Amino acid sequence: MQIDSHHHFWKYDPVQYAWIGPDMSVLKRDYLPADLADAIGRAGIDGVVSVQARQTIEETASLLALAAEHELLRGVVGWIPLAAPDVVSVLEPLAQSPWLKAVRHVVQDEPDDAFILDTEFNRGVSQLKQFGLVYDILIYAKHLANTIRFVDRHPDQPFVLDHIAKPTIQAAEFPRSWRDELRELARREHVVCKFSGVVTEVRDAAWSTELIRPYWDAAIEAFGSKRLMFGSDWPVCLLRSGYGQWVSSVRELIADLSPAEQGDIMGANACRVYDL
């Protein structure tokens, strides 16, 4: 089964989605299951994991409702106020849904680069395991050192690193510090990584599979085929790439792997990690 482990839905509202800036006009419209069904159908993808795009309980509940209605949605990564003192009481009713597989917080946008080490936030994360939930880590490369400390605080909590930690991608310079810290993070067996959201980190005027390849090589070397998942980050990826173009690029990158390894990356790992 081919699974896209990372995509978003929204009914566009400029206030609710203020992160969609003036240079992101392609994103300023509704993106709903019918749109995604067409994209994944043409690309040969069987199902998807829907991930929060704004930090509200209402959106989490909406994604869970969509998952109950649409077979292509196999699971949801929602948002809850992890730093809130009543986090367990907030989470309990949502966790009753069989579609809630994980939660995440938009750590990348926090003004404090050490937010991921916050005491209240970590107290909330420590509650997830009792509900059988994964935590998705959304950071930039600059946050990797603190993220290593963070996951070490929770050795029994499953983690998924989104978007290979969003390194800056350009032909002129490869970020060796990102590669080294990614390797160090990958030494923690309870961390899995998504090869997703990569094209939007390209700073060159154009991108190609060969430009992306060194970042793929670093990710597969660090995590191996059993702890990497394919994801699209649709519709955000449309800022730089069509859905099918990105799927084709990933399939080209994994072409030298065995059929079993390719199957792990393109779906089996997501099914296992998120219990789809």
Q: What is the pLDDT of residues 187-198, one digit of tens each?
A: 999 999 999 999
- How many Cβ atoms are within 10 Å of 78's Cβ, its own excluded? 29
What is the C-alpha to C-alpha distance for residues 250 and 207, in angstroms, rounded to an integer?
A: 13
pLDDT at residue number 22: 87
Structure tokens at 193: 């990584």
Residues 154-183 have a mean pLDDT of 97
The closest of 205, 224, 222, 214 to 269, measured between CA atoms, is 224
Q: Is the pTM for the entire model greater than 0.85?
A: yes
What separation in angstroms does the CA of 46 have from each of 3, 49, 92, 135, 273? 6, 11, 30, 23, 17
Per-residue pLDDT, averaged over 83-89, amounts to 96
Percent of the chain with pLDDT over 70: 100
CB neighbour list of residue 18: distance below 8 Å, 6 or more residues apart:
none
pLDDT (average), residues 109-124: 97
Euclidean distance between CA atoms 163 and 78, whole angstroms: 17
User: For all residues of the chain together, what is the average pLDDT?
Assistant: 96
What domains appear along the chain, each with residue ranges and CATH number? 3-273 (3.20.20.140)
pLDDT digits (tens, 9 = 90+) for 128-158: 999 999 999 999 999 999 999 999 999 999 9
Whether the CB-CB separation of 215 and 169 falls below 8 Å is answered with yes
More confident residue, 18 or 249: 249
Question: Stretch 252-262: mean pLDDT, rounded?
Answer: 98
pLDDT at 26: 93
Q: Does residue 94 surpass a pLDDT of 90? A: yes
Structure-token pair, residue 50: 């829907």
Identify the sign of the CA torsion 228, 267, 76, 34: positive
16 pLDDT tier (thresholds 50, 70, 90): confident
CB 217 within 8 A of CB 182: no
The DSSP secondary structure of the chain, one letter per residue, reads: --EEEEE--B---TTTTTTS-TT-GGGSS-B-HHHHHHHHHHHT--EEEEE-SS--HHHHHHHHHHHHH-TTEEEEEE---TTSTTHHHHHHHHTTSTTEEEEEE-GGG-SSTTGGG-HHHHHHHTTSGGGT-EEEE---GGGHHHHHHHHHT-TTS-EEEGGGG---BBTTB--HHHHHHHHHHHTSTTEEEEE-S-GGGB-SSS--HHHHHHHHHHHHHHH-TTSEEE---BTGGGGT--HHHHHHHHHHHTTTS-HHHHHIIIIIHHHHHTT-
Query: Residue 17: its pLDDT value, please?
Result: 85
pLDDT score of 18? 85
pLDDT exceeds 90 at position 23: no
- CA–CA dist 165, 153 (Å, integer): 19
Q: What is the pLDDT of residue 15?
A: 87
CA distance 266 to 194: 10
Tokens for 246?
């990105």
pLDDT tens digits along 43-74: 999 999 999 999 999 999 999 999 999 999 99
User: pLDDT tier at 98 (50, 70, 90 boundaries)?
Assistant: very high
Separation CA 120–CA 187 (nearest Å): 26
Q: What is the mean pLDDT of residues 219-229?
A: 98
